[in-house]
Amino acid sequence: MFTRTRRLRGSKTLRDMVRNVNLHLDELIYPLFLEEGENIKAEIDSMPGQYRFSLDRIDEELQELKDLGIKALLLFGIPKEKDPVGSQAYAEDGIVQQGIRHIKKNFPNFLIITDVCMCEYTSHGHCGILNGCDVNNDETLKYLAQIALSHAKAGADIVAPSDMMDGRIEAMRTILDENGFTYLPIMAYSVKYASNYYGPFRDAADSAPSFGDRKTYQMDFRSSKEYFREVESDIEEGADFIMVKPALAYLDVIHALKDLSLPLVAYNVSGEYSMVKAAAKNGWINEKGIVMENMYALKRAGVNLIITYHAKEIAQWVKNGEITL
């Protein structure tokens, strides 16, 4: 006698009743790009529906996100001026620091996560201080710690280092604790691969390296072992969240980390977003169906939180009654 597994799929009510994977808006984090300047709302060509905003144009977007029920933001900054040491990344009046203060003053209920890195701020586009043609790991730690501290002083709720320098979690935890930010969490980009899925983001943030690549500090996707060492070291150094980036091509990694004692985050990155948008524009896929299938794949693999450029439209679909979570 064969097994009739279809018995539990006979109606939507029954399928909803027996499902064991759930998604909530509270679990979605929406990235925002803040650009130094005035009267800027510029759509990013390679990321349809995503924009760079100057602070004088951001309130309308923030109000819409608030009304839709989005509660957590990840901030990236695009400065007017760049230099070899990325000084605008840790400047008191840097664009992210200004953005944090603006949002906290006008929309205090948002949870603000800040990207801690240097690639958007350095004239060479690499994620740290150069020593010849390579990034000097230990010298870079001093700058990353200052960036994290400047974000904390501006009012960030969580700092999220994305640089992939060895020892950066310890450096940030130390300087935060020394300055009274003992309870400020660190969301570590612990498992970040040197990925081809980042292309559109580099357009969005003007962060493409001017020479070479980032393979000496971001991870090799051909290795199935080194992510354990990255995660272990970040936990030992004081991380409070563990992130995997990109998301969809690394579901095996996410699943392997699902039983961590810390919250697990996946970053559904720009290339993953833009491929869906491009295929939908050409009528090749059901965009809404694909987006939700991807989100549930991440939850099924074991993530707790998802950073995704789709968060706003998911919230809109929920509000319009087009989907239920």
Task: Give the rounded distance of the alpha carbon of 291 from its chain centre.
Answer: 17
Q: CB within 8 A of 238, min separation 6: which ones?
A: 169, 170, 173, 186
Helix axes 311-319, 59-68, angle to 10 degrees: 50
Q: Are 68 and 316 in contact (CB under 8 A)?
A: yes
d(CA 323, CA 317): 6
pTM over 0.85: yes
Domains and CATH numbers, the chain: 21-319 (3.20.20.70)
- Return the bridge partners of 34, or none: 53, 77
Q: Are 55 and 99 in contact (CB under 8 A)?
A: yes
d(CA 275, CA 266): 18
Nearest C-alpha neighbor of 121 from the set 46, 206, 200: 206
- The catalytic site residues sit at 192, 245
240-269 residues labelled b (16+ CB within 10 A) or e (exposed): bbbbbbbbbebbebbebbeeeebebbbbbb
Query: Among the residues of 4-90, which ranges form H helices?
Result: 12-18, 59-68
pLDDT (tens digit per residue) in 39-83: 999 999 999 999 999 999 999 999 999 999 999 999 999 999 999
pLDDT (tens digit per residue) in 264-284: 999 999 999 999 999 999 999
Q: What pLDDT was estimated at residue 204?
A: 76
- Return the bridge partners of 219, or none: 193
- Torsion sign (Cα): 94, 99, 104, 109: negative
Which secondary structure element, helix H or strand E, spans residue 290, and what is its range? helix 287-301
pLDDT (tens digit per residue) in 119-176: 999 988 888 888 888 889 999 999 999 999 999 999 999 999 999 999 999 999 999 9
pLDDT band at 197 (very low <50, low <70, confident <90, very high): very high
Q: Is 242 left (phi over 0), alpha (psi -120 to 50) or beta?
A: beta
Q: Are 74 and 307 in contact (CB under 8 A)?
A: yes
Nearest C-alpha neighbor of 72 from the set 111, 32, 102: 111
pLDDT band at 205 (very low <50, low <70, confident <90, very high): low
